[in-house]
Amino acid sequence: SQTIHQWPATLVQPVGSPLSLECTVEGTSNPNLYWYRQAAGRGLQLLFYSVGIGQISSEVPQNLSASRPQDRQFILSSKKLLLSDSGFYLCAWKAGGPQYFGPGTRLTVT
């Protein structure tokens, strides 16, 4: 069966520090991968999605970036965090069926 992992589960970082969030999927090949941000426990904003290794589409211009170095690995990064980057970051995967979500990473920028 398929499983999706995200880490870390929670993160507190100062403004201006770098960021790296990781997402990995097990039990499937060549999935579509997605990064979402959820602010204040509400709507989800699609940040990036990828249909294959090295293929990244950005939905919202901002100081975040994404990379897909391996088929089932998706990384969200920032060189310098802003206060507005705080939120709940969710990774998701899809392989010909519904989209499934990971457990999320709670990021607090102080």
Partner 1 sequence: GEDVEQSLFLSVREGDSSVINCTYTDSSSTYLYWYKQEPGAGLQLLTYIFSNMDMKQDQRLTVLLNKKDKHLSLRIADTQTGDSAIYFCAEMYTDKLIFGTGTRLQVFP
Q: Which residue has the tokens 């991968």?
A: 33
32 binds partner 1 (CB under 8 A): yes
> Nearest distance from residue 66's CB to partner 1, in Å?
14
Closest by CA to 16, choosing from 65, 81, 63, 77, is 81
58 binds partner 1 (CB under 8 A): no
Q: Mark the segment that binds partner 1 (CB under 8 A) among 14-22, 69-77, 78-86, 89-97.
A: 89-97
Per DSSP, the chain holds a count of helices (H) and strands (E) of: 0, 11
41 binds partner 1 (CB under 8 A): yes
* Closer residue to partner 1, CB minimum distance, 44 or 53: 44
Binding partner 1 (rule: CB under 8 A), the pick from 33, 34, 68, 81 is 34
Q: What are phi and psi of 83, to 5 degrees?
A: -55, -35
72/23 Cα distance (integer angstroms):
8
Token output for 71: 């088929």
Please give the residue ranges that form the binding site for partner 1 (CB under 8 A): 32, 34, 41-44, 46, 49, 51, 90, 92, 94, 98-104, 106
